[in-house]
Structure 1
Amino acid sequence: MHRIFKRTMKLQKLGFLVCLGALSLGQNVAGQSSPGQSPNKDQAYQKDKYALPRGKKLMLKDGTFQLVRSYERKGDRVRYYSVERGAWEEIPAALVDWDATAKTEAAEKSEEEAFASKVHTQEEANRIDTVMDVDASLQVAPGVFLPPGEGMFIIEGKHVTLLEQAGAEIRADKKQFFKQVLVPVPIVPGKRNVDIPGSHAKIRITSSNVEFYLREAPPDPVRSSPIEKSSRPGESGPEVELVRATVKGNKRLLESIKSFFGEQMEETRKTMSLQRWEIAPTVYRFTLGEPLPPGEYALAEILPDGMNLFVWDFGVDPASGAKAAAPPKK
């Protein structure tokens, strides 16, 4: 009996120790899991702490305010919907500082409008800076969008027109050639003319103040560009000149090139003042430095090897109702 009693006592002690160990292990597990949950709770608390509900401030004379969705004054009482408690409440109108409420509301409205304007400006700047796709439209003025694709566009008011390229030709000047034949000593320089077939361009405008936009695709050896060039392109962006053409018969003269003993000496062309602005990658804006008088014009890209023989031509017609200049009195 004594042995059985001792064995029973040992089993009871063993069971007690097992229970004690399990209890201690459970506490450790709980202690280990709580730190893992604490950051989430803290983050949620911080998020709730700063995520204030949106509403108006009903300023009180004691310097505090009620955050309300709306409010209305009824006699000597003010009824408002509390954003914090989500219910309609009433307080005496005498407790409300109406001047402070109006000033606070006006200040918050002004801040919201300024913030919205700032965001809009940043979005517009980011949108322009990231216009990399040549097939994406681009806003160049309020309500005016540059169509997708490459090319030279002319902006006349709200109208956008894609200019077509015309192929210019180089011809020997006949008068200068006859001079060279008549003079036996080769002292008369040669002369060649660059002209466009036809006396008038197809595209006509009436405004003397227009803008031009050139959109090119990023360099791609696989893709062929619709913009034609008579020699290799430049490496520092397009150098474009606005040339006023001289109508001679059924041609429009753009440039005269003089050479001597096979060496080019001089290039002569009538150019108008033009400024270039890069408004986005591979998108360039050209603005006039002076109004355009009626006449024939061509936008020519100046390449390292000379003027591109494929030019964008257009004509300026007198505005309707414009009076012709009176002849000088004798």
Structure 2
Amino acid sequence: MGSVFFAGWAGTTDGAQSSSGAAPSQAQIPVETQARGKDAQAGVPALPRGKKLVLKDGTFQLVRDYRRNGERVRYLSAERGDWEEIPAAVVDWDATAKAAAAEQAEEDALAKKIHAQEQAQKIETMMDVDASLQVAPGVFLPPGEGMFLIDGKSVRPLEQVGSQVKTDKKQFLKKVLSPIPIVPSKRNVEILGDKANIRITNRQAEFYLREAPPDPDRTTPIVKSSRPGESGPEVELVRATVKGNKRQLESIKNLFGEQVEEKRNSISIQRWEIAPTVFRFTMSEPLPPGEYALAEILPDGMNLYVWDFGVDPATGSKATTTTLKKKD
């Protein structure tokens, strides 16, 4: 009986590693262990490597499972895949417990690292999706801030143009000639040029505005003539009145230094918040041919920097979007 035991014991110690840390040669490492090493180098989580059953002579057995039954320990060898037995007296149970704790700590650290990588990838994916929102089948909003025109499958960024405030000469003359100072002064908000560069024939195009989250350390490309509001952008669609080589957006009347009237031809639009800081604007009715501007209404009045475009009569069955060449 004793000779049988020692023969089995000699077989089970083949390939056991020494506590001195000397690594076996590549030829002695099982194929499964080599594959795990390659996976680890590639950053792929390794398969379960088994548990260490540490012996009192400083060596250990790599086991899948073990069971202590009285004075005997039966274990499933991770290297050979067979159930084998050794005396319980040759096992260093304290060292085995410490090895198990160290292995568990290593697995927990690896799990946390993988979780952190997955979370980072998830956040990066969300940012990528937010930067290119799908606004129609196969149509995506480009990254970056600003106002975008969606005309069928076409996506065009709209450039802001600066308007200017001019005193109405006729009203000024009336005020000068009046013996009683009850004639209000009048100023007009105008855009130079009789036509916008961006031209469309689609009378129900949509618009998307992407704003950046508030950041005092970052400058936004969206220009505002006064401080912005705090409840999201209040945007109006204004139809301009063409007068000579200018487009009039608004008239403002003042009396005794106080503003008494603010007049503009606004067309109803709906605003939809489709993502944080991304807003969609749709038409309440088809737009007739003419000159238009999307203007943000700020607490101090209409933003003097607007997004302009023009609607032309459709010449065929298909709507088009064109850009006029800028005049030198």
Q: TM > 0.5 between the two?
A: yes
1:261-280 alignment runs, 5 A limit: 261-280=256-275
Matches within 5 A, 1:244-323: 244-321=239-316
What is the CA-CA distance between 1:139 and the residue it aligns to? Answer: 1.4
**Pairing partner for 2:166 from 168, 171, 179:** 171
TM-score w.r.t. the length of structure 2 is 0.59
C-alpha offsets along residues 87-129 of structure 1, whole Å, 9 cap, x if unaligned? xxxxxxxxxxxxxxxxxxxxxxxxxxxxxxxxxxxxxxx99x9
1:1-330 to structure 2, matched below 5 A, reads 130-131=126-127, 136-321=131-316
Q: CA deviation at 1:318?
A: 0.3
Identify the structure with the greater helix proportion: 1
In structure 2, what residue type is equivalent to 1:263? E
Question: Partners in 1 of 2:152 and 2:128 — Cα distance?
Answer: 26
Query: In 2, are the aligned partners of 1:132 and 1:281 still within 8 Å (CA)?
Result: no
Q: Please state how far the C-alpha of 1:321 moved relative to its aligned partner.
A: 4.0
Runs of 4 or more above 2 Å deviation: 23-30, 129-134
- Relative to 1, partners in 2 of residues 1:250 and 1:138: Cα closer, same or farther, differing over 3 Å? same
Compared with structure 1, are the counterparts of its residues 131 and 287 closer, same or farther at alpha carbon in structure 2 (3 Å cutoff)? farther
What amino acid does structure 1 have at the position aligned with 2:231? S
CA contact (8 A) 1:244 1:272 kept: yes
Alpha-carbon distance in structure 2 between the residues aligned to 1:285 and 1:187:
44
Question: TM-score, structure 1 length as denominator?
Answer: 0.59
Q: 1:242 to 1:132 in 2, by over 3 A?
A: farther
How many residue pairs end up in the alignment?
211
1:120 is matched with none
Aligned to 2:79: none
Cα offset, 1:131, TM superposition? 4.3
SS in 2 for 1:277: strand
Give the counterpart letter for 1:236 in structure 2: S
Contact 1:150 1:227 in 2 (8 A): yes
Q: SS in structure 2 opposite 1:181?
A: helix
Q: CA deviation at 1:133?
A: 8.6
Q: How far did 1:217 drift?
A: 1.1
- Measured in 1, the distance between the counterparts of 2:200 and 2:135 equals 19
- Give 1:238 deviation, angstroms: 0.4
- Percent identity of equivalent pairs: 69
CA distance in 1, matches of 2:211, 2:268: 22
Q: Distance in 1 between matches of 2:128 and 2:275?
A: 8
What's the C-alpha RMSD, in Å, of the aligned pairs? 3.0
Q: Is the 8 A contact 1:240 1:299 kept in 2?
A: yes
Which residue number in structure 2 is paired with residue 122 of structure 1? Answer: none
